[in-house]
Structure 1
Amino acid sequence: MGTHLLVPAAGQNGMHFFSLQQPLCSDRASGLSRGSRTDTALGGGGRGGRGSMGRLHPPVVWEVWGGVEVCWGAASGGVGGLAEGRELAGANGMVPAFSCAQKSKPQCRGLAPNGFHNSIMAPVWKCPSITHSLRDRHYSPWEFPDWLPSTRKWTFLSESECAQYLPGEMKSPLFSIQREGIEEDGVLYRINRFNSLQPHEERLDVSFFVGGPVWAMEWCPCPEGSAAPQYVALYCNKGMDEKHSLAELHTGPALLQLWALGILQPEAGLAYAIAADHGCIWDMKFCPSGAWELPTTGRKPPQMSRLGLLAAAFSDGKVLVYSLPHPEGLLAHKRAQVQCIATLQVGSIQAGNSSECGQCFSLSWMPSKPHQHLAAGFYDGTVAIWNLPTKSLLQRVRQPDGSLKLYPFRCFLAHDHAVRSIEWCKVNSNFLVTAGNDRKIKFWDLRRLYEPINSIKRFLTTEITWLLPYNGVTVAQDNCYASYGLCGIHYIDAGYLGFKAYFVAPRKGTVWSISSSDWLNAVAAGDITGELLAAVLPDLAMNPLNIKRPSERRFPIYKADLVPCSSAGGEEEPRPKSRTYSEMTKEHCLRFQDTDLIGDSSLSALDLTRRPVPKGHEQGAHKPSRLASGRGSSCSRRDGWVWGLPARGRDGH
């Protein structure tokens, strides 16, 4: 490949949650040598030049291709806060001077081997090397060695005891599936609670019924390159028609479910479920790394091998951290109550009051090792941050049952209303972003909390995600305040480059949830219309104002519609007026329209080892029309469905 220098220019029922598991990557897959390195600047002064509060420096990535160092991003005016204090130098050992007037992108012409235009694929090809390098630097093989699951802390429930925790629906509504490229006779299916549908022999979709409307869901991370079974944790509300007040705390029985999806094969089953009495769960997050170990790890009883550390935000205002064991350690027991490792709440030892800030709606675990901080957003606009391994007597209290109660070491009022979403910067843990019901998105430097770095007032945000290579966030929004034609998914710069918001994808209604893949430079979102969409982003380190072919970057995954049972396989009739769930399911059924994700015309065959084809060497290929969503994706719905889309191959490539 030729040498290119890239220089940037400077809660209620009805919620959809989407979670995307990201693919694995190796140096061979990325096509780069082990000599490549990533130096990312984000924040205040560093040895590369001046830095100032209020500036988020974009990532600077140097890759070695055939002995030539290639820069994939930099900031004019100097680089500050470099990780590990590395000195940036070009091939001649000098720090290059960048200017906003310089050419900001390589000449990518023609089609890539998979049929996409090279201008679309160029950002995708560079992301695996960036992600792999940053994870090598910021991820840990083992953390929190004292927080191991123990059989003494698990209480297995009888059928009568667990009845109050189970979701209310025993069977799924009737549904049919229309798969693209396959002629089907419109057969109607119905699945029992905690069961999955027999997979189709020609497709890789997985569907299972969890018993209620899914409110929160999270993939359990495992080490890169391992062939370990995949697990997803989720919470569903007990009833389909229940309503909850956001302004008041409430407790009650809840069931946290852990589903085993195998080694991304089209098979799903309930591994086990945890009964809790702290109300509904609004959000949950796994520790990013260092919490998983092999199921065969030898542990002296009563300890068990650990699957992961899961933090859950409850409606009683508390955050509970669970140490989850591998299912093999629980033998035949699938429903149990477990003593959490730690209970996190606001206040202090002298004035501990979980109701002070209201319900907890959002969580974010610090993405870089040692992952010791956990941030949470509350109803009154407060953001609290806990130091999990603290030994301070002011922040840590040992409970009579042996568990810990932790108090935050830092609290600040981030918004005037509830904090809907919170995310750490994946490169520098001094920075995080929050979105609230006051319609504001704020970027914060934890070293200077007296004011945000940048505050942007736009539409009502439902969820945000921060992709690794860029100093900005991708935002899902509610349509209640959106201007006509502008409802959907937007990318918003943190404020340093000063770019206008980039419209990633228009949507017809509220986008309830969004998730991103650092490996594929892609986002996926589920909206209120029942559609799941994926989009490949451009290189957002450069001004996206003149991005071409925006529609070619978007790919539908599936669509769900509510139709009369008599027309499940035909034309859709006018929808009835709003009714209760039980009344609706008597006369109507769901129709899933599944797109082809494994054909030759999909991104499931994405080859990250290929590079842009030089001009004059284009390969003729038909344009693909679908996107494979990394290692697997899943979108939760009000009717209690989880619709999974695993990709091909053990490693998700």
Structure 2
Amino acid sequence: MGTHLLVPAAGQNGMHFFSLQQPLCSDRASGLSRGSRTDTALGGGGRGGRGSMGRLHPPVVWEVWGGVEVCWGAASGGVGGLAEGRELAGANGMVPAFSCAQKSKPQCRGLAPNGFHNSIMAPVWKCPSITHSLRDRHYSPWEFPDWLPSTRKWTFLSESECAQYLPGEMKSPLFSIQREGIEEDGVLYRINRFNSLQPHEERLDVSFFVGGPVWAMEWCPCPEGSAAPQYVALYCNKGMDEKHSLAELHTGPALLQLWALGILQPEAGLAYAIAADHGCIWDMKFCPSGAWELPTTGRKPPQMSRLGLLAAAFSDGKVLVYSLPHPEGLLAHKRAQVQCIATLQVGSIQAGNSSECGQCFSLSWMPSKPHQHLAAGFYDGTVAIWNLPTKSLLQRVRQPDGSLKLYPFRCFLAHDHAVRSIEWCKVNSNFLVTAGNDRKIKFWDLRRLYEPINSIKRFLTTEITWLLPYNGVTVAQDNCYASYGLCGIHYIDAGYLGFKAYFVAPRKGTVWSISSSDWLNAVAAGDITGELLAAVLPDLAMNPLNIKRPSERRFPIYKADLVPCSSAGGEEEPRPKSRTYSEMTKEHCLRFQDTDLVQAAPLSPPSRVCVCGGGLSPCLTLLSRQVRFSPNLDSHGWLVSGGQSGIVRAHCLVGLTSPVGHKLLQECRAQFSAMYGDRPESPSASPAEHGLLQEQ
């Protein structure tokens, strides 16, 4: 059929994209040399393909993708759940035959270059067009025009002033990286605080040290095709062994860091950090769209071009919304004052005591334009929803410093205990899902809040994610209530289709974080054993009960282990029994074992399935606490993860990218260039020049 190569292609501004390229090859059956053939089907109608003979059906198109013959048919049905059927249609009105109700199985043969069977990769190939279509309808180019960053609201701190906000660890623990297929010399690395390693020339993975355990992390969204530098906002604890009370409100110094990853090729660096006095940060969320603008946008002083709107949940029970400027615009002004745009708290003007609901643990920004609602979950089980652009005198109070204090327009008791995670449905913003410490997952219709649509009591949920365009959520769980062999990642239907829970991947320990990619139809999860795993989901619009060999759908990204420094590159020895960070790192170091995610040769089946050696880790140093897929099309193959060690790593899942996504990216870039002209450039300032700023 032809040669299949996985090659880097240089993009604009030095950006590199990986795509599967091959020469178009002729089809043996039809003799067509353009890489496709068209058949006309007679008979076979309805759901099961049965019908009267002689009935003319829409043409079926066979295309060659990456050396794979894929069958396409005319759209005849919806994807099920809350998504609409027409969203599956591409530019030519055709959809893959595997998504139609007429076909129960994808007509794909052979293996893809990444080693997966083509039937596994089929849903991945259709995801870029579905996601792009839905974002065109539900995303906005510009929102919240009044919430612009101003130089009058930001100020730089001196070294003595910022000392109380900085993380305590000056250097990272010793660690080594063993990359599959590359002979390493067992080099041990130690990174200074707020510094990073040079990206690997072949694997492109990036590692940097933030100074403490990572507790919250989020990518900054940017428009499709903008080729803009990528940013990651995160929060880490000050001390490695620091603990926080869940039941009581507390304040204290906190540092919200914004890291510039550039175009994911140069060295990562700290762009700037915001110092706050509202306690630790449990969760943070960016406005999904309409908050980013070009760094070269002309603004009258004191206004600056806006990078994004970030909402952060603090341990004092408040939610603060920051209007973040582009780093280059901020560094041009040496005089500023950091001030949040709005402070969100429960209660009302006459009863504004935020201590009644306790701490805020989870946030979710409404995914559909105009993104005016923000939902938050609290310690006592309350869910509060704010209308951000409200003009109501009962919900909006102007503070003496010029910022806003907003009160929710809707509150309801969702759980009997703390709300651990909350997510909006990405297709219909009337639907919401919550997970609490009462071991329940509840689906809500915001138009009828007197009872949930569906309530499921299974296990203690740590995090949930709602993947486009399916009618359900992917759930990470704590293993304390799980039956033996059933701890791990599950997909749970919202109740609309009535499917049983689908077991995505088993895990040996508690899964602390889970993230999904709408562009790749995949999920990634980090657990307490130090393993980061990714799994390709099937087409969940159909009943996953009959999915065969689910183990072939998942693969490890890396595995972290704690070994004596003398054996960093050799045999694994028993882990220490100490539980404090200082005792762990005196004679031991971390060892990261990375999977080859860039290989062109197919993976052998044994290397696809991740097998963890040994039992549960007796220490928390290996814990992967935060995992996040990039939501941006320009970096949709990238995944960032961080944990208890304070080392944050970024990996590119090259094997899951497809020619369909690459073609869509080129089209979006051409459209963006036609609309806005020159593309944004990476910040020129070095990490050492970036300052620490304080919230007033």
Shorter-chain TM range is: 0.7 to 0.9
Residues 41 and 325 of structure 1: is their aligned pair in 2 closer, same or farther, counting only changes over 3 Å? farther
For 1:391 and 1:278, locate their aligned partners in 2 and report how far apart those are by CA, in whole Å: 26
For 1:343 and 1:652, locate their aligned partners in 2 and report how far apart those are by CA, in whole Å: 12
Q: Deviations over 1:133-166 (max 9, x none)?
A: 0001011110000000001000211000000000
Residues 95 and 549 of structure 1: is their aligned pair in 2 closer, same or farther, counting only changes over 3 Å? closer
Q: Deviations over 1:318-337 (max 9, x none)?
A: 00000000000121789986
Which TM-score applies when normalising by structure 2?
0.74
Provide the aligned length of Structure 1 versus Structure 2. 618
Deviation at 1:265, TM superposition (A): 0.9
Deviation at 1:64, TM superposition (A): 17
Deviation at 1:22, TM superposition (A): 24
For 2:212 and 2:81, locate their aligned partners in 1 and report how far apart those are by CA, in whole Å: 46
From 640, 645, 653, give the equivalent of 2:637: 640
Q: Deviations over 1:268-316 (max 9, x none)?
A: 0000000000000000000000000000001000000000000000000
Residues 180 and 36 of structure 1: is their aligned pair in 2 closer, same or farther, counting only changes over 3 Å? closer
Q: Deviations over 1:419-442 (max 9, x none)?
A: 000000000000010000011100
Answer whether contact 2:191 2:208 (CA < 8 A) is retained.
yes
Deviation at 1:54, TM superposition (A): 41
For 2:24 and 2:377, locate their aligned partners in 1 and report how far apart those are by CA, in whole Å: 31
Residues 460 and 94 of structure 1: is their aligned pair in 2 closer, same or farther, counting only changes over 3 Å? closer
Answer whether contact 1:7 1:98 (CA < 8 A) is retained.
no
Q: Deviations over 1:236-270 (max 9, x none)?
A: 00011111111011100000000000111142000
Answer whether contact 1:420 1:462 (CA < 8 A) is retained.
yes
Residues 10 and 390 of structure 1: is their aligned pair in 2 closer, same or farther, counting only changes over 3 Å? farther
Residues 33 and 588 of structure 1: is their aligned pair in 2 closer, same or farther, counting only changes over 3 Å? farther
Answer whether contact 1:21 1:219 (CA < 8 A) is retained.
no
Q: CA RMSD in A?
A: 10.0
SS at match of 1:249: coil
Answer whether contact 1:360 1:379 (CA < 8 A) is retained.
yes
For 1:327 and 1:46, locate their aligned partners in 2 and report how far apart those are by CA, in whole Å: 57
For 1:529 and 1:500, locate their aligned partners in 2 and report how far apart those are by CA, in whole Å: 28
Residues 272 and 65 of structure 1: is their aligned pair in 2 closer, same or farther, counting only changes over 3 Å? closer
Residues 336 and 434 of structure 1: is their aligned pair in 2 closer, same or farther, counting only changes over 3 Å? farther
For 2:428 and 2:368, locate their aligned partners in 1 and report how far apart those are by CA, in whole Å: 8
Deviation at 1:378, TM superposition (A): 0.4
Q: Which has the higher contact order (CA 8 A, sep 6+)?
A: 1
SS at match of 2:84: helix
Matches within 5 A, 1:209-224: 209-224=209-224
Answer whether contact 2:22 2:66 (CA < 8 A) is retained.
no
Residues 589 and 6 of structure 1: is their aligned pair in 2 closer, same or farther, counting only changes over 3 Å? closer
Answer whether contact 1:196 1:208 (CA < 8 A) is retained.
yes
Deviation at 1:105, TM superposition (A): 3.2
For 2:554 and 2:332, locate their aligned partners in 1 and report how far apart those are by CA, in whole Å: 44
For 1:590 and 1:389, locate their aligned partners in 2 and report how far apart those are by CA, in whole Å: 47
Q: Deviations over 1:511-535 (max 9, x none)?
A: 0000000111000111100011110
Residues 88 and 524 of structure 1: is their aligned pair in 2 closer, same or farther, counting only changes over 3 Å? closer
Answer whether contact 1:534 1:556 (CA < 8 A) is retained.
yes
Matches within 5 A, 1:22-41: none
Residues 267 and 330 of structure 1: is their aligned pair in 2 closer, same or farther, counting only changes over 3 Å? same
Residues 494 and 43 of structure 1: is their aligned pair in 2 closer, same or farther, counting only changes over 3 Å? farther
Answer whether contact 1:46 1:82 (CA < 8 A) is retained.
no
Matches within 5 A, 1:64-463: 103-112=103-112, 114-331=114-331, 338-463=338-463
Q: Looking at secondary structure, tell me which structure has more helix per residue.
A: 2
For 1:538 and 1:191, locate their aligned partners in 2 and report how far apart those are by CA, in whole Å: 40
Deviation at 1:201, TM superposition (A): 2.5
Answer whether contact 1:154 1:337 (CA < 8 A) is retained.
yes
Q: Deviations over 1:586-619 (max 9, x none)?
A: 1111111112122xxxxxxxxxxxxxxxxxxxxx
For 1:575 and 1:2, locate their aligned partners in 2 and report how far apart those are by CA, in whole Å: 49
Answer whether contact 1:563 1:575 (CA < 8 A) is retained.
yes
For 1:584 and 1:631, locate their aligned partners in 2 and report how far apart those are by CA, in whole Å: 18
For 2:333 and 2:25, locate their aligned partners in 1 and report how far apart those are by CA, in whole Å: 35
SS at match of 1:514: strand
Answer whether contact 1:48 1:88 (CA < 8 A) is retained.
no
Deviation at 1:116, TM superposition (A): 2.7
Residues 10 and 294 of structure 1: is their aligned pair in 2 closer, same or farther, counting only changes over 3 Å? closer
Answer whether contact 1:275 1:336 (CA < 8 A) is retained.
no
Answer whether contact 1:4 1:70 (CA < 8 A) is retained.
no
For 1:316 and 1:52, locate their aligned partners in 2 and report how far apart those are by CA, in whole Å: 68
Of 275-284 and 28-37, more deviation after overlay is shown by 28-37
For 1:500 and 1:366, locate their aligned partners in 2 and report how far apart those are by CA, in whole Å: 28
Answer whether contact 2:323 2:341 (CA < 8 A) is retained.
yes
Deviation at 1:108, TM superposition (A): 3.1
Residues 563 and 631 of structure 1: is their aligned pair in 2 closer, same or farther, counting only changes over 3 Å? closer
Answer whether contact 1:313 1:319 (CA < 8 A) is retained.
yes
For 1:55 and 1:163, locate their aligned partners in 2 and report how far apart those are by CA, in whole Å: 77
Residues 528 and 640 of structure 1: is their aligned pair in 2 closer, same or farther, counting only changes over 3 Å? farther
Deviation at 1:470, TM superposition (A): 0.5
For 1:266 and 1:403, locate their aligned partners in 2 and report how far apart those are by CA, in whole Å: 37
Answer whether contact 2:473 2:494 (CA < 8 A) is retained.
yes
For 2:593 and 2:146, locate their aligned partners in 1 and report how far apart those are by CA, in whole Å: 47
Deviation at 1:583, TM superposition (A): 1.6
Answer whether contact 1:57 1:471 (CA < 8 A) is retained.
no
The percentage of aligned residue pairs carrying the same residue is 98
Answer whether contact 1:283 1:361 (CA < 8 A) is retained.
yes
Residues 299 and 454 of structure 1: is their aligned pair in 2 closer, same or farther, counting only changes over 3 Å? same
For 1:11 and 1:589, locate their aligned partners in 2 and report how far apart those are by CA, in whole Å: 38
For 1:6 and 1:296, locate their aligned partners in 2 and report how far apart those are by CA, in whole Å: 35
Answer whether contact 1:378 1:418 (CA < 8 A) is retained.
yes
Answer whether contact 2:36 2:63 (CA < 8 A) is retained.
yes
Answer whether contact 1:478 1:510 (CA < 8 A) is retained.
yes
Of 443-452 and 168-177, more deviation after overlay is shown by 168-177
Deviation at 1:207, TM superposition (A): 0.4
For 2:106 and 2:695, locate their aligned partners in 1 and report how far apart those are by CA, in whole Å: 29
Residues 371 and 343 of structure 1: is their aligned pair in 2 closer, same or farther, counting only changes over 3 Å? same
- 2:615 corresponds in structure 1 to 631
For 2:150 and 2:314, locate their aligned partners in 1 and report how far apart those are by CA, in whole Å: 23
Q: Deviations over 1:332-361 (max 9, x none)?
A: 789986110000000000000111100000
Deviation at 1:575, TM superposition (A): 1.3
Deviation at 1:198, TM superposition (A): 2.4
Deviation at 1:107, TM superposition (A): 3.2
Answer whether contact 1:49 1:78 (CA < 8 A) is retained.
no
For 1:318 and 1:398, locate their aligned partners in 2 and report how far apart those are by CA, in whole Å: 16
Residues 253 and 35 of structure 1: is their aligned pair in 2 closer, same or farther, counting only changes over 3 Å? farther
Structure 2: gaps of 5 or more residues = 599-605, 620-635, 639-686, 689-693
Q: Deviations over 1:436-475 (max 9, x none)?
A: 0011100000000000000011111000000011000000
Deviation at 1:47, TM superposition (A): 22
Of 245-254 and 176-185, more deviation after overlay is shown by 176-185
For 1:26 and 1:338, locate their aligned partners in 2 and report how far apart those are by CA, in whole Å: 62
Residues 277 and 553 of structure 1: is their aligned pair in 2 closer, same or farther, counting only changes over 3 Å? same
Deviation at 1:191, TM superposition (A): 0.9
SS at match of 1:71: strand
Residues 574 and 370 of structure 1: is their aligned pair in 2 closer, same or farther, counting only changes over 3 Å? same
Residues 3 and 43 of structure 1: is their aligned pair in 2 closer, same or farther, counting only changes over 3 Å? farther
Answer whether contact 1:9 1:104 (CA < 8 A) is retained.
no
For 2:421 and 2:363, locate their aligned partners in 1 and report how far apart those are by CA, in whole Å: 7
- 2:642 corresponds in structure 1 to none
Deviation at 1:59, TM superposition (A): 23
Q: Deviations over 1:29-56 (max 9, x none)?
A: 9999999999999999999999999999
For 1:7 and 1:179, locate their aligned partners in 2 and report how far apart those are by CA, in whole Å: 19
Deviation at 1:168, TM superposition (A): 0.5
SS at match of 1:584: helix
Answer whether contact 1:16 1:513 (CA < 8 A) is retained.
no
Residues 20 and 3 of structure 1: is their aligned pair in 2 closer, same or farther, counting only changes over 3 Å? closer
Answer whether contact 2:286 2:309 (CA < 8 A) is retained.
yes
